[in-house]
Amino acid sequence: MVGAPTGIMDQSASLLSRHDSAVFLDCRSQESRVVPLGFDAAGLAIAVINTHVVHAHATGGYGERRESCEAGARALGVAALRDVGIDQLDRARGILDDVTFRRVRHVVTEDQRVLDTVHLLETEGPAAIGGLLDASHRSLRDDFEVSVPELDLAVETAQANGAVGARMTGGGFGGSAIALIADELVPDLTRAVRSAFAERGYREPSVFTVHPSQGARRDA
Protein backbone atom coordinates (compact mmCIF):
# COMPACT_ATOMS: atom_id res chain seq x y z
CA MET A 1 0.00 0.00 0.00
CA VAL A 2 2.82 2.43 0.83
CA GLY A 3 5.11 1.25 -1.95
CA ALA A 4 7.84 -0.21 0.25
CA PRO A 5 8.99 -3.79 -0.47
CA THR A 6 8.74 -4.89 3.15
CA GLY A 7 7.64 -8.08 4.86
CA ILE A 8 5.44 -9.20 7.74
CA MET A 9 7.71 -8.63 10.74
CA ASP A 10 6.30 -5.36 12.08
CA GLN A 11 2.70 -6.41 11.64
CA SER A 12 3.35 -9.77 13.28
CA ALA A 13 5.14 -8.20 16.24
CA SER A 14 2.24 -5.80 16.75
CA LEU A 15 -0.20 -8.70 16.94
CA LEU A 16 1.78 -11.53 18.54
CA SER A 17 3.92 -9.84 21.19
CA ARG A 18 3.70 -10.77 24.87
CA HIS A 19 4.97 -9.05 28.01
CA ASP A 20 8.78 -9.19 28.47
CA SER A 21 9.09 -11.52 25.49
CA ALA A 22 10.36 -11.65 21.94
CA VAL A 23 8.55 -13.13 18.96
CA PHE A 24 10.57 -15.72 17.04
CA LEU A 25 8.98 -15.54 13.61
CA ASP A 26 9.45 -17.76 10.57
CA CYS A 27 8.44 -15.52 7.68
CA ARG A 28 8.27 -18.45 5.25
CA SER A 29 5.93 -20.72 7.19
CA GLN A 30 4.47 -17.86 9.25
CA GLU A 31 4.95 -20.00 12.35
CA SER A 32 5.94 -18.14 15.51
CA ARG A 33 6.67 -18.72 19.15
CA VAL A 34 7.17 -16.47 22.13
CA VAL A 35 10.65 -16.37 23.67
CA PRO A 36 10.89 -14.95 27.23
CA LEU A 37 13.43 -12.13 27.41
CA GLY A 38 13.91 -11.85 31.16
CA PHE A 39 14.58 -8.10 31.00
CA ASP A 40 12.36 -7.34 34.00
CA ALA A 41 14.12 -9.77 36.33
CA ALA A 42 17.54 -8.56 35.13
CA GLY A 43 16.66 -4.88 35.59
CA LEU A 44 17.20 -4.16 31.92
CA ALA A 45 15.40 -1.82 29.55
CA ILE A 46 15.60 -1.03 25.87
CA ALA A 47 16.68 2.56 25.39
CA VAL A 48 15.61 3.98 22.04
CA ILE A 49 17.83 6.71 20.63
CA ASN A 50 15.91 8.54 17.92
CA THR A 51 18.40 10.39 15.73
CA HIS A 52 15.64 12.31 13.93
CA VAL A 53 17.36 11.55 10.64
CA VAL A 54 14.48 11.16 8.19
CA HIS A 55 14.33 8.07 6.01
CA ALA A 56 11.86 6.64 3.50
CA HIS A 57 11.72 2.96 2.55
CA ALA A 58 9.56 3.35 -0.53
CA THR A 59 12.44 4.90 -2.46
CA GLY A 60 16.20 4.60 -2.59
CA GLY A 61 18.51 2.27 -0.75
CA TYR A 62 16.06 -0.03 0.99
CA GLY A 63 14.65 -1.39 -2.26
CA GLU A 64 18.15 -1.67 -3.70
CA ARG A 65 19.24 -3.84 -0.78
CA ARG A 66 16.33 -6.17 -1.33
CA GLU A 67 17.12 -6.39 -5.04
CA SER A 68 20.74 -7.28 -4.20
CA CYS A 69 19.59 -10.04 -1.87
CA GLU A 70 17.24 -11.47 -4.47
CA ALA A 71 20.00 -11.34 -7.11
CA GLY A 72 22.37 -13.10 -4.73
CA ALA A 73 19.83 -15.84 -4.06
CA ARG A 74 19.31 -16.40 -7.79
CA ALA A 75 23.05 -16.60 -8.42
CA LEU A 76 23.41 -19.15 -5.63
CA GLY A 77 20.47 -21.19 -6.87
CA VAL A 78 18.29 -20.89 -3.78
CA ALA A 79 14.78 -19.63 -3.18
CA ALA A 80 15.92 -17.19 -0.52
CA LEU A 81 19.07 -16.37 1.41
CA ARG A 82 17.73 -18.21 4.47
CA ASP A 83 18.66 -21.34 2.49
CA VAL A 84 22.34 -20.35 2.54
CA GLY A 85 24.42 -21.40 5.54
CA ILE A 86 27.49 -19.76 7.05
CA ASP A 87 29.58 -22.58 5.62
CA GLN A 88 28.52 -21.61 2.10
CA LEU A 89 29.80 -18.04 2.24
CA ASP A 90 33.22 -18.96 0.82
CA ARG A 91 31.50 -20.37 -2.25
CA ALA A 92 29.34 -17.28 -2.49
CA ARG A 93 32.41 -15.03 -2.41
CA GLY A 94 33.71 -16.74 -5.54
CA ILE A 95 30.43 -16.35 -7.41
CA LEU A 96 29.18 -12.89 -6.47
CA ASP A 97 30.56 -9.41 -7.01
CA ASP A 98 31.84 -7.70 -3.89
CA VAL A 99 28.78 -5.57 -3.15
CA THR A 100 26.29 -8.39 -3.64
CA PHE A 101 28.45 -10.71 -1.57
CA ARG A 102 28.52 -8.30 1.34
CA ARG A 103 24.75 -7.91 1.18
CA VAL A 104 24.40 -11.68 1.19
CA ARG A 105 26.90 -12.08 4.01
CA HIS A 106 24.93 -9.68 6.17
CA VAL A 107 21.67 -11.57 5.72
CA VAL A 108 23.21 -15.00 6.22
CA THR A 109 25.11 -14.01 9.35
CA GLU A 110 22.14 -12.05 10.69
CA ASP A 111 19.92 -15.10 10.32
CA GLN A 112 22.45 -17.04 12.39
CA ARG A 113 22.60 -14.26 14.97
CA VAL A 114 18.83 -14.53 15.40
CA LEU A 115 19.12 -18.26 16.06
CA ASP A 116 22.03 -17.66 18.44
CA THR A 117 20.09 -14.95 20.27
CA VAL A 118 17.13 -17.25 20.85
CA HIS A 119 19.47 -19.96 22.12
CA LEU A 120 21.26 -17.61 24.52
CA LEU A 121 18.03 -16.16 25.85
CA GLU A 122 16.77 -19.64 26.60
CA THR A 123 20.01 -20.92 28.13
CA GLU A 124 21.95 -18.00 29.61
CA GLY A 125 19.62 -15.01 29.80
CA PRO A 126 19.53 -11.49 28.38
CA ALA A 127 22.95 -10.33 29.56
CA ALA A 128 24.51 -12.84 27.16
CA ILE A 129 23.13 -11.35 23.94
CA GLY A 130 25.04 -8.07 23.96
CA GLY A 131 27.80 -9.25 21.68
CA LEU A 132 25.26 -10.34 19.10
CA LEU A 133 23.59 -6.92 19.14
CA ASP A 134 26.98 -5.26 18.63
CA ALA A 135 27.89 -7.65 15.82
CA SER A 136 24.55 -7.00 14.16
CA HIS A 137 25.24 -3.28 14.02
CA ARG A 138 28.70 -3.80 12.55
CA SER A 139 27.21 -6.00 9.85
CA LEU A 140 24.44 -3.50 9.08
CA ARG A 141 27.03 -0.72 8.94
CA ASP A 142 29.78 -2.43 6.94
CA ASP A 143 28.14 -5.17 4.87
CA PHE A 144 24.58 -3.95 4.35
CA GLU A 145 25.62 -0.27 4.46
CA VAL A 146 22.32 1.03 5.80
CA SER A 147 23.62 2.96 8.80
CA VAL A 148 24.39 6.68 8.96
CA PRO A 149 26.92 8.60 11.09
CA GLU A 150 24.27 9.59 13.63
CA LEU A 151 23.26 5.96 14.17
CA ASP A 152 26.88 4.87 14.48
CA LEU A 153 27.50 7.59 17.06
CA ALA A 154 24.42 6.57 19.04
CA VAL A 155 25.57 2.95 19.13
CA GLU A 156 29.17 3.78 19.99
CA THR A 157 28.10 6.12 22.78
CA ALA A 158 25.74 3.53 24.22
CA GLN A 159 28.47 0.89 24.15
CA ALA A 160 30.82 3.28 25.96
CA ASN A 161 28.26 4.08 28.64
CA GLY A 162 27.25 0.73 30.03
CA ALA A 163 25.01 -0.81 27.40
CA VAL A 164 24.95 -4.60 27.30
CA GLY A 165 24.75 -4.23 23.53
CA ALA A 166 23.46 -1.79 20.92
CA ARG A 167 22.47 -1.65 17.28
CA MET A 168 20.58 0.43 14.79
CA THR A 169 17.02 -0.75 14.24
CA GLY A 170 14.53 -0.61 11.41
CA GLY A 171 15.29 -0.34 7.72
CA GLY A 172 18.22 2.02 8.10
CA PHE A 173 19.32 5.29 6.50
CA GLY A 174 18.14 7.12 9.60
CA GLY A 175 15.68 6.49 12.38
CA SER A 176 16.67 4.99 15.70
CA ALA A 177 19.22 2.86 17.48
CA ILE A 178 18.44 0.69 20.47
CA ALA A 179 20.57 -0.13 23.49
CA LEU A 180 19.98 -2.90 26.00
CA ILE A 181 20.98 -1.28 29.28
CA ALA A 182 20.38 -1.38 33.02
CA ASP A 183 17.47 0.80 34.08
CA GLU A 184 19.60 2.91 36.41
CA LEU A 185 22.08 3.78 33.65
CA VAL A 186 19.50 5.30 31.30
CA PRO A 187 19.88 8.88 32.63
CA ASP A 188 23.67 8.72 32.18
CA LEU A 189 23.24 7.31 28.69
CA THR A 190 20.80 10.07 27.80
CA ARG A 191 23.23 12.78 28.87
CA ALA A 192 26.14 11.12 27.09
CA VAL A 193 24.26 10.73 23.82
CA ARG A 194 23.00 14.30 23.83
CA SER A 195 26.49 15.58 24.57
CA ALA A 196 28.07 13.46 21.83
CA PHE A 197 25.53 14.65 19.26
CA ALA A 198 26.04 18.28 20.27
CA GLU A 199 29.82 17.94 19.86
CA ARG A 200 29.30 16.69 16.29
CA GLY A 201 26.77 19.40 15.49
CA TYR A 202 23.96 16.88 15.02
CA ARG A 203 20.35 17.55 15.88
CA GLU A 204 19.54 16.67 19.50
CA PRO A 205 18.32 13.08 19.72
CA SER A 206 15.34 11.85 21.69
CA VAL A 207 16.04 9.09 24.21
CA PHE A 208 13.32 7.04 25.86
CA THR A 209 12.84 3.52 27.16
CA VAL A 210 10.47 0.85 25.93
CA HIS A 211 9.45 -2.49 27.41
CA PRO A 212 8.16 -5.42 25.37
CA SER A 213 4.45 -5.70 26.04
CA GLN A 214 1.23 -7.36 25.03
CA GLY A 215 0.33 -7.02 21.36
CA ALA A 216 -2.86 -5.60 19.93
CA ARG A 217 -5.98 -7.05 21.50
CA ARG A 218 -9.61 -6.27 22.17
CA ASP A 219 -10.08 -4.47 25.52
CA ALA A 220 -13.85 -4.76 25.69
* Active-site residue, 10 included: yes
Long-range contacts of 36-40 (CB under 8 A, 24+ apart): 36/121, 36/122, 37/121, 37/126, 37/212, 38/121, 38/125, 38/126, 39/126, 39/180, 39/211, 39/212, 40/211
**C-alpha distance from residue 165 to each of 26, 50, 59, 86 (Å):** 24, 17, 30, 23
Helix 61-76 to helix 98-123 angle (10° resolution) is 90
Catalytic residue among 10, 26, 142, 188: 10
| Catalytic machinery residues | 10
